[in-house]
């Protein structure tokens, strides 16, 4: 009888383990999230590395789109990309938003519009059920102006607004800017991280999610 009880408890534990659902994480972003410039995005983009770092209890989905802006009137609004709709189809438990780098282009940047559209994205993602936990990231530093992407606008315009929105909405911030500011070698073109940079970004995000 005792042996049968042990077998039943073991089988019950295995059944519970097999039924346990993974925590789904959607990484919303631009080319830095998608993995532009990497030899193999499917292996080296930071959401892929993040998936490995977080372990078997998590499932990370790369929803990055190169060139995407937060602003609805930008040159490539994330709102109009298939990746935006993929977030809703995925129904994540956690959403990580890393947008703003492309909004810093001089022909895109409008501070009031950026703040309004960022708030709208937070509100829109909050309609997902069950309601996801949203993290918002300070974009990585821009070490060299390219494609009209401007570090001054990132630092003095975008980051203060993201910090403000984090406080207003009581959302956790993930600082990819100050923690990577001394690592220019990890950004060969001045904007996009190499494989080592992607690992650092994944590590920063993993550390915040595991707090």
Write out pLDDT tens, residues 145-196.
Answer: 999 999 999 999 999 999 999 999 999 999 999 999 999 999 999 999 999 9
- 133-142 pLDDT, tens digit each: 999 999 999 9
Identify whether the C-beta of residue 65 lies closer than 8 Å to the C-beta of residue 52: no
How far apart CA 61 and CA 95 sit, in angstroms, is: 10
Residue 42's Cβ-count burial label (10 Å; 0-12, 13-18, 19+) is exposed
End-to-end CA distance of the chain: 44
Q: What is the DSSP letter of 156?
A: I
The domain segmentation of the chain, as residue ranges, is: 20-209
How far apart CA 131 and CA 92 sit, in angstroms, is: 9
- 89-147 pLDDT, tens digit each: 999 999 999 999 999 999 999 999 999 999 999 999 999 999 999 999 999 999 999 99
Q: Which fold has domain 20-209?
A: Rossmann fold (3.40.50)
């Amino acid at each position: 009888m005792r042996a049968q009880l042990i077998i039943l408890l073991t089988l019950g534990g295995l059944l519970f383990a097999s039924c346990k659902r993974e925590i789904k994480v959607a990484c919303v972003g631009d080319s830095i999230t998608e993995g532009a410039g990497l030899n193999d995005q499917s292996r080296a983009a930071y959401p892929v590395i993040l998936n490995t770092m977080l372990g078997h209890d998590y499932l990370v989905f790369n929803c990055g789109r190169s060139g995407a802006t937060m602003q609805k009137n930008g040159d490539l609004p994330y709102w109009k990309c298939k990746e935006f709709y993929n977030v809703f189809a995925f129904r994540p438990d956690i959403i990580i938003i890393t947008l703003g780098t492309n909004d810093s282009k001089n022909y895109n940047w409008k501070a009031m519009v950026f703040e309004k559209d960022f708030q709208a994205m937070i509100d829109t993602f909050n309609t997902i059920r069950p309601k996801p936990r949203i993290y918002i990231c300070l974009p990585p530093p821009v070490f060299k102006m390219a494609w009209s992407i401007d570090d001054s606008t990132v630092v003095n315009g975008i980051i203060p607004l993201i910090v403000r929105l984090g406080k207003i909405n009581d959302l956790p911030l993930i600082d990819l800017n100050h923690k990577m500011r001394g690592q220019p070698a990890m950004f060969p073109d001045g904007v996009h991280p190499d494989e080592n940079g992607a690992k650092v970004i994944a590590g920063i995000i993993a550390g915040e999610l595991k707090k």
